[in-house]
Structure 1
């Protein structure tokens, strides 16, 4: 019985290390620069969940890696207006397509679903109200300096 207790504590500690640890959205939001006139912004994020906690697959925007899907984390990308495709891959590739207008902000939430060998990380567009609510609990994981 003690072995099971220690195993459960060890697993909890290991998975805690998989969570994003940057500044929270409310702290980092004020440091986000204004958009250039010809660009839009795309936020990528993943809520905290024990399902697939250790998965951190790359997120690609138009075939270019822009970050990773971290449990409890978010980042943003400023890019040109027009049609875009965001995708993630584990044992399966999942995509979401969207059109971004100048000055517009889009939100792409990634979530983990069951797979055959490894969980699948699925991107989906989310409305601004839901995304802002979700983002409030998340930590910045991007490469741009967030203060």
Structure 2
């Protein structure tokens, strides 16, 4: 390696390590607070495993041209949307996209992952089977919007006591 590439590589690796991992509560800590899917809607989980490669690259994820979150290593988030056709995409040195349909009550799991590009890493998409995705979610941190905690509902008092 040339003398100018070594420092650049060291800085890039250090940046990836320092900025690479999502922080937040683990899936098990928020699972009970995730609300039920509303009628006519489906849920889309976006998830990315922890990896040193491409860790500093955390592009926004768009769903039908609306930003819904970021692809963060070690993180996940979800969005609920009406049933219909969707296109998830990110843009780094090139646009990467995934087209799919969402049905009422359906849950889709979309993995984002870094891949080699010409100049930069790219963030690509793949749909995961629920059994694989649910296992992977256990190790990931929630990076989405705050979830209202689930509060237990007290039972109603018997009619005679009211």
Aligned length: 140
Shift of the alpha carbon at 1:17?
A: 3.8
Q: Distance in 1 between matches of 2:50 and 2:87?
A: 24
- Provide closer, same or farther for how the CA distance between residues 17 and 90 of structure 1 changes in structure 2, counting only shifts above 3 A: closer
CA contact 1:61–1:85 (8 Å) conserved in 2: yes
Write the distance in 1 (CA, Å) between the matches of 2:142 and 2:91. Answer: 21
Equivalent residue number for residue 69 of structure 1:
71
Q: Which structure's CA Rg is the greater one?
A: 2
Could you tell me how far 1:12 is from its partner in structure 2? 5.4
- Provide TM-score, normalisation by structure 2: 0.80
Which segments of 5 or more consecutive residues in structure 1 lack a partner in the other structure? 1-7
Q: CA deviation at 1:146?
A: 6.3
Instruction: List gaps (5 residues or longer) in structure 2.
Output: 1-9, 150-162
Aligned-CA RMSD value = 2.0
> 1:14: Cα distance to partner?
6.3
The structure 2 residue matched to 1:96, chosen from 92, 95, 98, is 98
Counterpart in 1 of 2:115?
113
* Structure 1 ranges of 4+ moved more than 2 A: 11-14, 144-147
Q: Map 1:40-51 to 2 at 5 A.
A: 40-51=42-53
